[in-house]
Structure formats: structure tokens, C-alpha cells
Structure 1
Amino acid sequence: MGANMMSWSMQVALVVALAFLVGGAWYGKPTGAGPDDNGGACGYKDVNKAPFNSMGACGNLPIFKDGLGCGSCFEIKCDKPAECSGEAVVVHITDMNYEQIAAYHFDLAGTAFGAMAKKGEEEKLRKAGIIDMKFRRVKCKYGEKVTFHVEKGSNPNYLALLVKYVDGDGDVVGVDIKEKGGDAYQPLKHSWGAIWRKDSDKPIKFPVTVQITTEGGTKTAYEDVIPEGWKADTTYTAK
């Protein structure tokens, strides 16, 4: 359970009733996905493509949570200035910022910031700079199967996984693997962003089953998702 923000159960209760005031700004290209490399501090490299669709956001520490907030989804909207539509849009946490402009602060991709504007007023809204927004945590609806990218540098004794597209809670706060022929799960260490790793003093036996845990406590196992004969810098999709 993340300690930097309120507990998940408290979030769910409050999200139903209200939204929180937050500082909002944008970065990158006006109609871009944020980072120049379409990546960010979560380790994603394709936030300009579906299902992120350039609707990414940097969260400050209580939102990013040292990477444990990666993939979580927030509904945001603005009422002022006049260019704001007042309609809510959903953004995904894909990056982080260190600014303490407000207790909670988002730096949005230019595309995401403009999405809060009235039609045709996107550029005018971006010129407003830092604005007040309302936000609330919502369930993610990626519409994709969970993927596990075996990171570069992985080898028989070292496995690093980037986890993406978790519907529901969106985030991942724990990853465990079960080796071929094994009965017990072994915990992976959080490396950075959305990346988890296993350092082993003996070769890991593949295929491995991967179990992820979200902040809400949901555990889901993906049987033999990393196959025998796996390759580094390769993405494997849950069945």
C-alpha cells in the first residue's frame, strides 16, 4: 500500500464524492506525448501510441510514488481560464516531476493539456501556463492485454521486467515469479519506474509465471508468460 498518498480504500471513497484541486502545467511539444523520446521515468517508450495516445502525465512524489504510481489513471478537468471546456479527460501516469507548485501537481503532455480545452482553443489554453485543475483517481481501461518487456541486459541469472497495461488499478506495487517446476513465488525487487528485477545466484528456470499485485491488493498470475528460449529486449503478452 502506497504510503505517500492516502490509502486506496480512502481514495475510492473520496473519489466517489469529490475531486481534489491540483496544479497543472504541460511540457514537451504542444501536440506531443511529453518526453522527446516518447518515454519518461516509468520506462515506457511508446506513450505517443495506443493505448496511451499521448495522454500521459508527470506526477509529483505523492502521485508518482517513486515509480509505484506508474500506469495509474486520473480524471482531470479545468474550469478556468475561459478556454477550459469543463469536461473531464483521463490521463495516465507515465513520468515524474520534482516541482512542489502544489501538494499534488501534474505536468501534462501537450496533447493531454490541450484536451481540457474547448474545441479550437487548445493552443490558447496551453499559453495560460500553470492552471488550477480538479483531479480524481479512476480505474484504468487500457483495453489491452498486460505486457511484460524483458529489459536489455537480462540474462539467465538476471531478469528485469517492465510491466504495462494493467486494467483496473493501473499500477503495480509487487511482482513475483514462479520458476518452471517450482511451487513457491519469489519476489522481484523494484528497480525503477515500472521495472522490476530478479538477481539470482543460479540460472532461472523458464518458463516462468509472473504474478503482479496492485495497490488495491489485487493479485493476478500470468502462467508461463516468459517462455523458455526468451530473448532480452522483447515484449511478451499475457494470454
Structure 2
Amino acid sequence: MPPPLLQGPSHTPLKPLLLLLLLTLPPTTTSHTSSTTTPPPLSTYLSQWQPARATYYAASDPRDTVGGACGYGDLVKAGYGMATVALSESMFERGQICGACFEIKCVDDLRWCIPGTSIIVSVTNFCAPNYGFPSDAGGKCNIPNKHFVLPIESFEKIAIWKAANMPVQYRRIKCRKEGGIRFTISGSGIFLSVLISNVAGAGDVTSVRIKGSRTGWLDMGRNWGQNWHVNANLQNQALSFEVTSSDKMTVLSYAVAPKDWRFGQTFEGKQFET
């Protein structure tokens, strides 16, 4: 039973007073939740400039630019060239961030910075910490430092090389790539490893599934960097891939590798939209 209507001392209903109160209260907001959500565009939550520092390395031998902790191998052949960066431990995320793209600019040093310039680089390597030195001295890549190590060719686009350890600002941006995602297959017998590179959009990869023409979808595990593996006999089967990036976007590439694929070959699939 509803409560009795409030009355004033003269036993007249207080409807006008209640109406006045309702009109002066702020409007209420009703929230609705859903079991599925659409992630915001990468540019809306990865575009804030943040402070860091940057140094460079000068390769004395062309072989010094090959490889890295992300497993891409020859960076020139893989399409990354000198537009690459190694991240300190606090940023590297144990390799999950491999392939992500950053824009970096030099700041706060009018003597060494080249005004109005910035560079765009992809994560291909890891700057290991050195806990024999404090983080504010020789341990530039120690936790909690945010540090970028650039090829000198990239460093010199934003600062004079004599600057050495420079304050910079960075922001994560969408990766833009030519062509589709590349799948390089290696391994032996029932052990199959796939290097995933040339990823647009978020750039990094958080999960991978593979499907043979005679199997269902199989989860792959991260071996290291962007090398993913599965223990399954998938030879003499066409291979399909499902790749998910850190912004929860997924792209499916069906029958990327034909049934006569061989270890050591690279195949190109679909690409994330940018």
C-alpha cells in the first residue's frame, strides 16, 4: 500500500511543494550495460604525449641492425628499416608490445633539438636494464625509466647527435603498413612456429589462432616477441589465421598458405583497417 499523502498544518495536500522540489532536482542519468563493447578507436586513447628519454646506437657493422628481441630477423628485409626502436623494461611488456608504433619528438632543449620535427618508429627490440647502476645514472633502461633507444639515423632527424641522452615526448599512434599481415612459417615436424609481422592498426598482437583445412581452430602460444607456436601436424593442409591486436580488433585470413606450404616460406594475409 502506498504511503499516505503528506499534508501541511492546514490539512491541505503538499502537491505544489513536491512539484517544486522535483523541478529543482538535477536530471537523473540511466546507465545501460552490455555484454559486448566496441573498443574506442586507437587514436582516442593512445594519443596523449608523455615524457621519456632517448639515446641512440650507431651500428659499426650492418649485421648489428639484424634481429632483435621481437624476432623480426633482418629488419630491412622485414620492411622496418631504420624506423625502429628498442624499449626499456617498463615499456616492453615482455614482448607483447612488439610491432606497436610511436611518434617521438625532442623537447625542452633548444641547444640540441631540431624544432618542428618528429619521427615514427616501430618497436622491434628490448633495452635490457643494468642494475649495476642506479636508474638516474648509468641504468637508463632500468625500471621505472621510460626510455627509447633509436638507430642514429632516426635520432638525428629530431636532435643533434652530440645530445646523447635527450628528454623527449612520445605518443602511441596507429601503424600504417603496405600490404597485408605477413606469416613466416618455421619449425620441424609437428612443431610449427609463425612469425607475425607488418601489422597495421595497433601494430602489436595479443592472440593468434591457426586452422588447417582438416582441423578446427587451434590456439597458438607466444614463444617470444611476435613468434607464435603450436604443436600439431598441419603439413599438407591449407592454413588460415585469426589475429587479434591489443585494441581487441580481429582479422581473419582464410587459406593464406596453400596445402603444399614449406617451412621457411612467408605468406601474406588480410590487414587491419586504418
The TM-score with structure 2 as length reference comes to 0.72
In structure 2, what is the Cα distance between the partners aligned to 1:40 and 1:62?
17
Size of the aligned set, in residue pairs, is 217
Pairwise mapping of residues 206-225 of structure 1 onto structure 2 (< 5 A)? 206-225=237-256
CA–CA distance in structure 2, aligned partners of residues 107 and 94 of structure 1: 11
Q: Distance in 2 between matches of 1:28 and 1:64?
A: 21
SS in structure 2 at match of 1:127:
helix
Deviation of 1:49 after TM superposition, in Å, equals 5.0
The separation in 1 between residues aligned to 2:221 and 2:89, in whole angstroms, is 20
Contact 2:42 2:173 in 1 (8 A): no
- Counterpart AA for 2:100: S
Kindly name which structure, 1 or 2, has the bigger radius of gyration based on alpha carbons: 2
The within-5 A match list for 1:1-239 is 12-16=43-47, 18-29=48-59, 36-48=64-76, 51-79=79-107, 80-86=109-115, 87-98=117-128, 99-100=141-142, 103-117=145-159, 125-151=160-186, 154-182=187-215, 184-200=216-232, 203-204=233-234, 206-238=237-269
Deviation per residue, 1:89-132 (Å, 9 max, x gap): 10110000122275311111121111213xxxxxxx22221111
CA 1:214–1:62: 2 relative to 1, 3 Å: farther
Q: Work out the percentage of aligned pairs sharing the same amino acid.
A: 26
Q: Give distance in 2, aligned partners of 1:176 and 1:92.
A: 24
How far is 1:197 from its partner?
A: 0.3
In the alignment, residue 105 of structure 2 is paired with which amino acid? K
Name the CA distance, whole Å, in 2 between partners of 1:159 and 1:170: 23
C-alpha distance in 2 between matches for 1:207 and 1:156: 16
Q: Distance in 2 between matches of 1:198 and 1:76?
A: 36
Per the TM alignment, residue 226 of structure 1 is displaced from its structure 2 partner at its CA by: 2.3
Whole-Å Cα distance in 2 between the matches of residues 147 and 65 of structure 1?
22
Relative distance call for 1:214 and 1:14 in structure 2 (3 A) is closer
| Distance in 2 of aligned mates of 1:223 and 1:192 | 25
Distance 1:138 1:102 in 2: 22
Q: TM-score, normalised by structure 1?
A: 0.82
